[in-house]
Amino acid sequence: MNIDTNAHGGSLVNCYLDYEDTIAKKQQAKDFASWDLTHRQICDIEMILNGAFSPLDGFMKQSDYQSVLDDMRLQNGVLWSMPITLDVSEDFAKQVQLNDEIALRDDEGVIIAVMQVEDIWQPNKTEEAKKAFGSDDLAHPAVNYLFNQAGDYYLGGKLQGLSEPSHYDFKVLRDTPKSLREKFQNMGWKKVVAFQTRNPMHRAHQELTFRAARQVEANLLIQPVVGMTKPGDIDHFSRVRCYEKIIPQYPEQTTMLSLLPLAMRMGGPREALWHAIIRKNYGCTHFIVGRDHAGPGQDSNGNDFYGPYDAQELMECYKEELGIEMVPFQMMVYVEEKAEYQPIDSVSKDQTVLNISGTEFRRRLAEGLEIPQWFSYPEVVEELRKRYPPRHKQGFSVFFTGLSGSGKSTIANALLNKLMEMDERRITLLDGDLVRKHLSSELGFSKEHRNINILRIGYVASEITKNGGIAICAPIAPYRETRRQVRDLISPEGGFIEIHVATSLELCESRDRKGLYAKARAGIIKEFTGISDPYEAPENPELSIDTADCTPDEAAQRIILKLENLGYIR
């Protein structure tokens, strides 16, 4: 393969200016209107500038965009399945005019490229969603992005690259289409089959890719996506460490790992076609398309967005034109009697198929349960266990909510001491009064200020939880919606246990330890929770405790049992 030829036979696009032009353009660009690229746009621009999206040499103009939506072709007839557009806010779109040059910056303010604006338009997002992704259901990640994150205006035009988007991680595993082709050429790899993935690879994947390479007598390129994948996926840092562990499982000198800074759209069949074109630009001759390639999962009615082999069927239709050969693969399953993996269609009825679903795999990680060797490699599992430790090694937050004087601080303190006695994780107490002194001293008790206060607590607790510690929070937190936001912030990082200290207002007021209720009744303290300000009781707390019928010791003990029951302590 010619090193400079792109997927369509033309030359591989390289949008970067030479050294002197770059210096001059950077100087001029300081005065241009400037757009801060989103994460997805940074991924797209890197792929345009380095030729991975050849023949694109900029963000699409409306004519190409429309033609891609309608016919899966650029206006000049070249096959291209995914709209690649620069979405901006209405404010920004109104600032620029046709033929203006704009500076496109990364999040540190570095100018990555200059674009001459050749088109400005307001897309019909519903049409785009239906044509590109076959649905306008927000359960589809790309549709959700389109409606909830993408700007309402698109700008199109040619790019001039000034700086490569910077990457500080896994530098030796990153290649441009040109550098990868050079590597293939140096190693004498004439036939290369590429494997696309956004998940950690286990034995089934190793088996599938190895068989695919053997079948077409090609070398193998494992090219995982490290740009943007499906929300909720395992982060690429952990995944890449897993891939590094799997490479030695292939015969020496046959397989290479290279990272792809692509922003996936989870667009199923159209995405498969796009992936193949990209791989051809990287110099591959074959591309593996398995079951449910780039599948987004299910729609809001519980139906799959695409059929499991739709991607293979679409690829088949364009195979002559594509110029990169598809290697279709059935799902690989482990056959117990044979103690080996086989494509599912070759398994007979009397054989036993073993499988561990993604959900089951995560459950086993969370519970610290065994993961059998037939499923994955111990080195890969060990890597994933570091990222997903069992619950009793994860961080968690215990979030108390309740009226002033309900007993939150006392129980929180008892819990703190009991946990310190039995657990080695670091613990931080974020008590209402303490927080107001150290984090929120400028805030009062209006709804707005209370919410700011609670979100600050939530942020600190989420950081503690992420880093494997225990946060005990004990504010009043009177608003349900704000507590939900805190739950959403913390839950992805570890445990979130909400405890409603449900002591009645009458009892809190009769205790009146700080004398605040009397002042509130007398109107001296305004906006006092329960008296002159609302308290919205939690609907589904993990635990509800009324201090009318238990001591602080008993309350803390109930929480310990709850934590044990949930697996966070043992």
What is the contact surface with ligand PPS in residues (CB under 6 A)? Answer: 404-405, 409, 432-433, 436, 445, 450, 453-454, 475-478, 514, 516, 525, 527-529, 533
Residue nearest to ligand PPS (CB): 432
In the structure encoding, which two tokens stand for residue 65, read together? Answer: 């965009």
Query: Which of the residues are catalytic?
Result: 197-199
Residue 39 amino acid letter:
H
Tell me if residue 386 falls in helix, strand or coil.
Answer: helix
In angstroms, give the least distance from the CB of 376 to ligand PPS: 45
- Residue 333 or 403: the one with the smaller Cβ distance to ligand PPS is 403
Contact by Cβ (8 Å): 258, 167: no
CB under 8 Å to 468, separation ≥6 — which residues? 389, 393, 394, 395, 425, 426, 494
CA–CA distance, 249 with 258 (Å, rounded to integer): 16
Using alpha carbons, select from 50, 49, 55 the residue that is nearest to residue 76.
Answer: 55
Is the Cβ of residue 465 or residue 482 nearer to ligand PPS in the bound state?
482
Match 């996926």 to its residue by tokens: 233
Closest distance between ligand PPS and the C-beta of residue 70, in Å?
54
β-strand partners of 501? 402, 545
Query: Contact at 8 Å (CB) between 398 and 425?
Result: no
Tell me how far, at minimum, the Cβ of 454 lies from ligand PPS, in Å.
6
- Strand 286-289 versus strand 325-328 pairing type: parallel
- Rounded to whole angstroms, how far apart are CA atoms 313 and 323? 16
Q: How many CB atoms lie within 10 A of CB 99?
A: 9
CB 430 within 8 A of CB 462: no
Nearer to ligand PPS by Cβ, of 425 and 450: the residue is 450
Return the bridge partners of 561, or none. none
Between the alpha carbon of residue 233 and those of residues 55, 57, 226, the distances in Å are 30, 30, 11
Exposure of 103 in the CB half-sphere (CA atoms within 13 A)? 19
81/410 with CB nearer ligand PPS: 410
Nearer to ligand PPS, 224 or 458 (CB): 458
What's the CA gap between 172 and 163, in Å, rounded? 19
- What is the phi-psi region of residue 99: left when phi exceeds 0, alpha when psi lies from -120 to 50, beta otherwise? left
Burial of residue 200, with CB atoms counted within 10 A of its CB: 0-12 exposed, 13-18 middle, 19 or more buried: buried
219 vs 409, beta carbon nearer ligand PPS:
409
Min CB(527)–ligand PPS separation in Å:
5
3-state SS assignment for residue 45:
helix
Return the number of the residue (155 or 486) whose C-beta is nearest ligand PPS: 486
**Smaller CB separation from ligand PPS, 257 or 434:** 434
Measured from the CB of residue 414, what is the shortest distance to ligand PPS in angstroms? 15
The CA–CA distances, whole Å, from 27 to 20, 23, 95 equal: 11, 6, 21
Nearest distance from residue 518's CB to ligand PPS, in Å? Answer: 13
Nearest distance in Å: CB 231, ligand PPS: 30
Smallest separation, CB 375 to ligand PPS (Å):
46
Q: What is the CA radius of gyration of the chain?
A: 28
* Helix (H) or strand (E) segment spanning residue 304: none
